Amino acid sequence: MLDRIPVTTWFPSQDPGDCPLCRDARAALHPDALRAAGEIAVGIMTRGSAVQLAEATVTRLASALGSGRVTILAPEAGGRWRVAVSSDLRDTQDLMVDTERYPELLEVRRSGTPYLAPDVEEAPELERARPFLAAAGVRCIAAYPVFMAPGGVEPVVMKVSLFRRPEPSHLLLATLVAHLLVHRFTRQPPAGASPLLGIAAPAETGYDPMTILRLLPLPALVVDDSGRVLHANSRALWLWRGHEPDGSGAPIVLRMQPSRPWLPPSARWEAQLLAGKRTLAVLGWSNPVGTARTLILLEPHPDVRRRSNERAMRRTLAEKLKELEAANARLEEHARLRERFVSDAAHELKTPLAILRSYIETLADDLVEGLTTDQREFLAAAAHGARRLQRLVEQLLDLAALEAGHLPVAVGQVSSREVAAAVADELRPLADAGRVTLRAGVEPDLDVRADPVRLRQVLRNLVENGIKYTAAGGEISIGSSRIGDRAVLCVADTGIGIPPESLPRVFDEFVRIPGHQPVDGAGLGLAIVRRLALAMGGQVWAESTPGVGSRFFVELPLWTGEG
């Protein structure tokens, strides 16, 4: 509601009883807040002077809010405010408030309507002020214009700072009280309210140049013919970055190259602004505003802004590149340590596992006649576990060698039909044990450029994977096709399939499909398939339909007669 209150609504002409804003706020208050609002309203309407009613208002409102500070600020020259009345005894009168440090006051000055930030952490305008707010423990800010002096452009502001997240009734109460002050000050004679609040009444004749300068969106100043700055708005002072008059009252002299470019007949010009130890290229517009007086509008030159932006971008890019290089170095170190650990662990396990497996198989062959049925089953399970561990160690060694680039790959001319037939003959007993049909119909026979041992390992891993996930009565087939100068071998099964969300990761290490029954293996077979295919100059991919089956493709270059 407060973000869209127009100035004509916030500074109304009607009495509080007829004001829709006050009426709506009262209707939304709960009984306790409404009672507090009534007590504050009585004090506002019965106090005679502006200072008395301001003091009574801030004290009672702060007490009703329970945790916070209420301050009334009067505008001063240079775009700043002075503390007129405060509920905090530590805030003395004549304490000056710098506008640049209090963005909420800038928002009130800009719009002429209330500014409300129920949570200062979520208000983008308060981003630079958050460290100060956090140090003071402020969680919520509201700022309300309550009085405008005749001929002035800066309002008197009632500022509310709360030290905890407010309840809706607290903000409604503060809004209602602020608007009651608006009504009260509107009825107060301006000539009497202004001095009591510490605002100098404007002269009856002439004009205040600062009134114009404050309204201008650009850095603006008025100078005499010698370049002495007579008036300047806050944007111009910011352009000089603190080059304001010192305590001695010495004036600012506008120094430029060329000197005094604003003199007639120039109306639009370019110059170098000398501000302290730096030089800034600016665009300027000038216009006479009286005898020996010139209004000047300044703007940083577009080339300066562009170069500044380019420098900032280059600096940011360099920082990000350094961060990326450091992150890549850490990743490479972690990958190297992981590869070394996997390789060392696998080598350390290889020999003991081979010995263990040979002992278990010897026991199973030589002592089987003297064992009970349970003992035979235990021995068979141990032999199966030993073979499984040995296969896992071999896969880990292959994976470590592939990642390090140490696995030998000797490419040559390989018949796709012969390799497929050899794999089918090798694994047909395993398929028969699971009552799965295994076919190797590789037509046409294609000569591919590959390592025969590694290509056989690739197809064996794919077929074994299919057997694991295909139920009894299913079928696995090995086929081939040609696409341009590439051969594509396909291992298709009628198994349980792979969910779409898991399909992109099936060739990663140690990946197990969620929801599938656990089977022998550690999730390394397909990872080895992908790395072997890449080492032979090929690639792999998979297609699958859950409940229907999967197809795994291995694409390799055709043999061209060159090694």
Please give the backbone phi and psi of residue 307, each rounded to the nearest 5 degrees, phi first.
Answer: -65, -40
The sheet carrying 549-557 orders its strands as 437-440, 475-483, 486-493, 549-557, 539-545
Q: Which residues contact 48 (CB under 8 A, 6 or more apart)?
A: none
Report d(CA 134, CA 120) in Å as an integer: 9
Q: Are 82 and 95 in contact (CB under 8 A)?
A: yes
Between the CA atoms of 554, 557, 561 and 563, what dihedral angle is there, to the nearest 10 degrees? -90
The pLDDT of residue 477 is 93
Whole-model pTM: value is: 0.39
Report d(CA 541, CA 552) in Å as an integer: 6
Q: Which helix (H) or strand (E) holds 42?
A: helix 31-46
Packing angle, helices 168-187 and 31-46, rounded to 10: 20
Q: Are 174 and 72 in contact (CB under 8 A)?
A: no
Report d(CA 61, CA 304) in Å as an integer: 49
Report d(CA 12, CA 423) in Å as an integer: 92
Q: Which helix (H) or strand (E) holds 30?
A: none
Q: Which helix (H) or strand (E) holds 232?
A: strand 229-232
Each residue's pLDDT expressed in tens, for the chain with a length of 563 residues: 344 455 556 776 556 666 778 888 888 887 887 787 777 776 666 655 667 777 888 888 888 888 888 988 887 766 677 888 888 877 666 677 776 678 888 888 777 788 888 888 888 888 888 888 888 889 999 999 888 765 555 788 899 999 888 887 888 888 888 888 888 777 655 555 555 454 554 444 445 566 667 767 778 888 888 888 888 887 787 776 544 444 445 567 888 888 888 887 777 888 888 876 778 888 888 888 767 788 888 887 777 566 666 777 888 888 888 888 888 888 888 777 766 666 666 666 667 767 777 777 777 776 667 677 777 777 777 777 777 776 766 666 666 666 666 677 888 999 999 999 999 999 999 999 889 999 887 778 889 999 998 899 899 989 998 998 899 999 999 999 999 889 999 999 999 999 988 888 888 877 766 555 545 556 678 888 888 898 889 999 999 999 899 999 999 999 987 65
Please give the backbone phi and psi of residue 429, each rounded to the nearest 5 degrees, phi first.
Answer: -60, -40
Report d(CA 112, CA 107) in Å as an integer: 8
Structure-token pair, residue 174: 């503060």
DSSP 228: B
All structural domains of the chain: 2-196 (3.30.450.40), 209-300 (3.30.450.20), 308-404 (1.10.287.130), 412-557 (3.30.565.10)
The pLDDT of residue 99 is 66
Structure-token pair, residue 48: 């005679």
Report d(CA 198, CA 84) in Å as an integer: 7
Please give the backbone phi and psi of residue 137, each rounded to the nearest 5 degrees, phi first.
Answer: 80, 20
- Burial level of 163, CB count in 10 A (0-12/13-18/19+)? middle
